[in-house]
A and B are shown apart, each in its own frame.
Chain A
Amino acid sequence: MSSLKAPKSKEAISNSNLLFIIASVIFALMYGFAILRYPESFLQFQTFFDLFSLNAPLIILTLGLSIVMIGGGIDISVGAVTGLVTMCCAVLLESKGGSIGGAMLLALGIGLAFGLLQGFLIAYLDIQPFIITLAGMFLANGLLTTIHKDPINVSHEGFVALRDFTIVIPFLGNSNRLGNFIPLEIKLGTVVALVLILLLVVLMKWSRFGRNLYAVGGNSQSALMLGINVRKTKFMSYLLCGALSGIAGFVYIMTTGAGNVGNAAGFEMKAIAASIIGGTMLTGGVGNLFGSPIGSLTLLTINELIRAAGVNSNFQAIVSGLLLYVFIVLQSVVVWMRGSGKFKIILPAWFKFNKSN
């Protein structure tokens, strides 16, 4: 695929940014449609921030996965690690010596441990990332069920206070049907997700690590020739992804307040889908981290729309799949169009308009 990439002229927009723009335009269209269709609910700031509050773990996971995918790898253990972290934190908080700080450290520690193990095996021993992270997923799942099988509701006082803590922004509120004014409430998870988005975008855009990772993902051979430490860069990307899974786990339990075997199950595929919709390519070297939250928000908006429409919940998965199909074809066609003229295919007129954006 990398050989099909366009030779970039100075004015040309890079593939990363082009895909990012497409993703944001589609998100804007989607949200605009939602507002037109259900103005009374989607026009509220609360609805928009609820998307963030309730799905902060998924957004954080998508960030981590995008980083790994930009480096040309894949990590399918993220969901299972998140689930493991929630259960471990719940067990720790319910035990006698449990404290919030300890739980935070534990979450980060588990995430880092998985990142360390997988990163070492993938980067330094040259094993296929898919298989190793699959094993990581099995390991996390197995440990999760070994540690505790039944749901635990955390009753640690400090933690409950943290769970119920909301940031109130009065001037962005709405009046409800009875005419009472309700201020905007944001959960702590939202803040964590937003801070992480900013930090990671800066890291990927302006730090040496970020630039190296783009180079490694684009073409690891030439990156090696440029003097980049390919192995270390890959290792660091998995480590970062592991740490983010740990943080996502803590945010998850901070949102739901319970450890459960089914926590974050299937998140890895959701995160991969969100990353792709956000314009990250699995082939590596292409992606904009701002796209990742936009990708997950697009997926979530669709789910909300379907829920609001009140149709059969099976359609939710089918429509998500269809949407994914549209995105994937769109991305591939866009990259093609920019590639060498060999693969020219006839496109409808509306598409050409889209491309000139």
Chain B
Amino acid sequence: MKFVRLKEQLSHLLLPLSVLAVLIVINLIKGADYFSVKIINGALYGNIPNLLFGSSELVILAIGMTLVTASSRGQDISVGVVAAITSAVFVQVLLRSGDITWMTIFIGFLASCGVGILLGAFNGSLVSIFKVQPMIATLILFTAGRSISFMIDGKLSPVLANDLTSQLGGVMPGLPIQTPIILTAIFIALVALFLKTTNLRLYAETVGINEKAARLNGINPMKVQFLTFMLLGICCAVAGFIAVTKAGRHDSVNILKFIEMDAILAVAIGGNSLGGGKFSITGSIIGAYTIEMLSRTLLRLEVGTETIKAFKAVFIIILMVVASPVVREYLSRVKIRRGVGFLNGFGKKEA
């Protein structure tokens, strides 16, 4: 039984992993020093650490998005906006508390988590109680959120200028890795522990596959959906926290802009169905790193910044075509008829 599950997961992960491999090969062709790492001021820098550093918010949001997608069969498009609001709250708590210590940072973080849970509950109540499509329900915050965060800020982009927050967004003394990477790793570990010790994974999958059957089996779909949205709220708060400490100032208009689209994309590239049901957090995490690596690879190949989006789009379309059910079915039929030799040729032509 366990083996079947593992095999199933591997077949889902095949696509994102092979894409990641292709990207790494392209990078190595461009320059063989891709994996080289330098130590500057006691911390590791290089292509891979920078990749992990740059994609930390996206990874955290993709985890929450996977849970929501699985249980509610839809996507939350307000994640970037919610993160903007929670980080605005965080910055306000810090600035109003006078001197900044670890304690005030912790209190601010807790406050931002609280706001994240509240906003998640707002979205979750619409989805679970009023049965609104998640995308529509979150459209409300998407429309209003940046303005709310702007009003919390009061003035244009308050600045966080002190040692502690810049350590959180950069490097802590004595640690060789940038702090956001460590925070992301801790967060992933916590989520893994949470999913391992609770029934949430099973419940979320059940509700996503068939809500009525879940109800008949004694699972309260409302509760599960509500819970996943609140968890996404926490994810948003953490992502906002990392983003604002990285940037050192809170810019409501531009902080985590358009990240909701990337987060949904990460879920899809990770081999998860956007129609809910079974999910793989690992896939989403790999998907998030793939997206970040794609943009960085395009930059490395000296594609102009204005053209990057078009290349990204073409890449996504090719990926989705290869992964689409129709093409997969066709390929498996061809495989049976003609053997693997033809399949390889076809695959190359498609890609």
Interface string of B74-94 (1 = CB under 8 A from A): 010000000000000000000
Interface residue tally for chain B (C-beta within 8 Å): 45
Per-residue contact bits, chain B 58-76, to A (CB 8 Å; 1 contact, 0 not)? 0000000000000000010
Mostly, the B contact residues are helix
Contact at B137–A328, with CB atoms within 8 Å?
A: yes
- B306 lies within 8 A of A145 (CB): yes
CB distance from B148 to the nearest CB of A (A): 6
> Which of A1, A126, A132, A138 counts the most chain B CB atoms within 10 A?
A138
- Among A74, A142, A149, the residue within 8 A (CB) of B309 is A142
- Label chain A's interface by main secondary structure: helix
Count of chain A residues with a beta carbon within 8 Å of a chain B beta carbon: 46
Contact residues in A for B324 (Cβ distance below 8 Å)? 121, 125-127
Indicate if the CB atoms of A126 and B326 lie closer than 8 Å.
yes
Binds B, one of A184-192, A193-201, A310-318: A310-318
Give the complex CA separation of A67 and B321 in angstroms: 25
* CB-based contact B310/A146 at 8 Å: yes
Is A272 engaged at the interface, CB distance under 8 Å to the other chain?
yes
Per the bound structure, the CA–CA distance linking A137 and B309 in Å amounts to: 9
Q: Is A336 an interface residue (CB 8 A)?
A: yes
- Asked if A139 and B310 sit within 8 Å, CB to CB, the answer is yes
Partner of B140 from the list A4, A126, A128, A325 (CB cut-off 8 Å) is A325
Let me know if B274 and A131 touch, CB within 8 A.
Answer: yes
Q: Within the complex, which residue of B131, B275, B312, B326 is in contact with A332, where a contact is CB–CB below 8 Å?
A: B131
Residues from chain A with Cβ under 8 Å of B140 in the complex? 321-322, 324-325, 328
Bitwise, A269-303 to B at CB < 8 A (1) or not (0) is: 10011001000001100000000000000000000
- Of the listed residues A142, A269, A314, the one surrounded by the most CB atoms of chain B closer than 10 A to its CB is A142
Extra 13 A-B pairs, beta carbons < 8 Å, given A137-B313, A324-B139: A121-B317, A125-B327, A130-B274, A135-B313, A138-B312, A138-B313, A139-B310, A145-B306, A317-B146, A320-B144, A321-B145, A322-B144, A328-B140
* Interface, chain A (partner B; CB < 8 A): 1, 4, 74, 121, 124-128, 130-132, 134-139, 141-143, 145-146, 149, 269, 272-273, 276, 282-283, 312, 314-318, 320-322, 324-325, 328-329, 332-333, 336
Instruction: Pick the 9 closest A-B CB pairs, nearest first.
Output: A142-B310, A321-B144, A142-B309, A139-B313, A145-B306, A138-B313, A314-B147, A317-B147, A135-B316
